[in-house]
Structure 1
Amino acid sequence: MKRIVLTSLFMLGLAAAVFADQEAGPFPYKAVTADRKYIFVVTDPKCGLCGIDGDYKQSGMYRNDGSTAPLWTVDWMNRIFLPNDGRHVVRLGRWARYSATYREELFTFVEEGRVLKTYTTVELVDFPYLLPHSVSHYGVFYGPMDPDQPGDGAVVKYDNGAGYPVNSGATFDNQQNTLRIETHNGDTYLFDLNTGAILSARRPARTTAVLLAALLIVLYSVFLLIAARVHSVRKHPRITAFAGGFALVFGLFMIPLVAVALNAPVHLDDWSRITEYFWSYAYLQISMLPRYLLASLGVLALPENYCITTDWTMTLEWLALFWLPLALLFGFINRFVIGFFSRESRVESRELV
């Protein structure tokens, strides 16, 4: 029976698997620090800078004085956050493709070409399935190269036209050698550029979720106490137990949504957008949360180029194969617990008599 259930869940995870959009490959570019002292260059093995001004043969850091001898080199073509010191860059992971486990590279701290520390999405985001998603990718934080976000003056060019802000979404303190970033879910981190270590972190969604979970535990304990000791409720043990099971699952379902909604909408400018955000993600979570849990446990493996599609058919399937069995499971657990405490209550009553 267990094998049948796991197989059914796995096939459900593949039900909407179609080939997703193919992201554009990495491009060569030239980025200049905010103080204009250094240039970081990424070249293409086939065409170098492919027409961008400058005679740079290798990817790496250069002085912005006309020199073509690199201070240090790299062998990758990722985008970056660029501080002023000429020794460090923060390599961004490729546009994150959805894998349900969220273990893709988010960013890596690099010192003179040497990797210091790499972070994955799941290490820095508590509810990654609630990040903004396209059909096959997701975003973690604002920027880079977003002209609507403030930058520090560092620019990147992919051609000989206008430059884009390279550090939008990041805040460097070039005196203290630190980097501050904020995720779409409202988490903020301060990193040491010299080591890649986290100096401080503010994770309001996690804090809110813990408080809501504690409240749910208190309410659930009160429910069990009433169900076991109040005679009028004890007369309908089956209804009480399964109603409590459904209520508990609903509470667990709401905790991540409320935790993120209370913290992420600082970036949304009116209540209608916050409401739309909340209910659209409530709908999305019905299928996204089970995928995340099952993939993290190794039960579900998604094929390469998996495409996220969520329609009413799939939503109903996940409700039937995951959420309903979970509620029924808690219902059976409630029956056992309520029955146990009811017997204890009756024994105490007889002893008092």
Structure 2
Amino acid sequence: MNYDALLWLSFGGPEGLDEVMPFLENVTRGRGVPRARLEEVAEHYRHFGGVSPINQLNRDAIAAVERELSAQGITLPVYFGNRNWHPMVEDTVRRMAEDGVRDALVFATSAYGGYSACRQYDEDIARARATVGAEAPRLRKLRHFFDHPLFVASLADGVRAAYAELNRPDARLVFTAHSVPTAADAAAGPPEEGGHRYSRQVAEAARLVAAEVGAEDHDVVWQSRSGPPEVPWLEPDIVDHLDALHADGVDAVVVCPVGFVSDHLEVIWDLDNEAAERAGELGMAFARSATPNADPRFARLVVELVREQSGSASPRALSDLVNGGDTVDGAVCATGCCEPARPR
């Protein structure tokens, strides 16, 4: 099939103080997150003037993808839409329809499976098409890329740079990703795989990066939980893990945010502020590696995924895991896969 556009689909973030609480209410609607927790997270955004870096990071990445498409002789306009804040995906899909787009690919800015990282983007696509109606373009989401060689290589170079910055070859390598409810993670995978698609893919990406940099040992931990305290989430938290490492005599860490593709607010707050501050209190040397967003290989990765759909590139993966249940011609998920966690 020939495609006539690419939709860049992301999470969204506020770009002013008056947008912070409406944005957070969009993010958490129906999840039973206490108001006090929203206020706590809102303060993180207010610390940066109410502006999340995520939208500008996405605009920069889109510009890089447009340049890469042009360099490879591919004519494909790129549209930008978000799940939780402007430009909202419904408005973007409406504009695509008005521009005459009939068949488009969708790049969702997550490398992984799971509900928020994958299935919810499918729901975003379905909601946007339903909102626009009969004139909405057909939309096909590109596959997961947690084990793509370009993704792994970019993360590995970031880890090497962090080690060079720290000048501590003995530093413990710690990978972190966004925590999710344990019940949601258990549902994140086809039955024959026993679920846990998200955490298993994160662990596999961490293993691949660690092997690439020659690290004999590494840890996988979590960050940014936001649900009610009585609901179990993936653990340990990065800050708690630093305490545990300190108790074991570890005095230097390199932290790789393997679960994130860009330096958005949860990376710069939870890692560059909270985790780095705790490491300082413990007298622990700390360096955080870069995310792939600004790396030219990230744009090449996106274009390679696009070319897979046209049959001009073969799928590449470094893992034996089922790649998120995906096929090259579109995501295929088992019934009941990646169900959202239900609030109690």
Task: Provide the TM-score with structure 1 as the length reference.
Answer: 0.21
Q: Normalized per residue, which structure has more helix?
A: 2
Point out which structure has higher relative CO (alpha carbons under 8 A, 6+ apart): 2
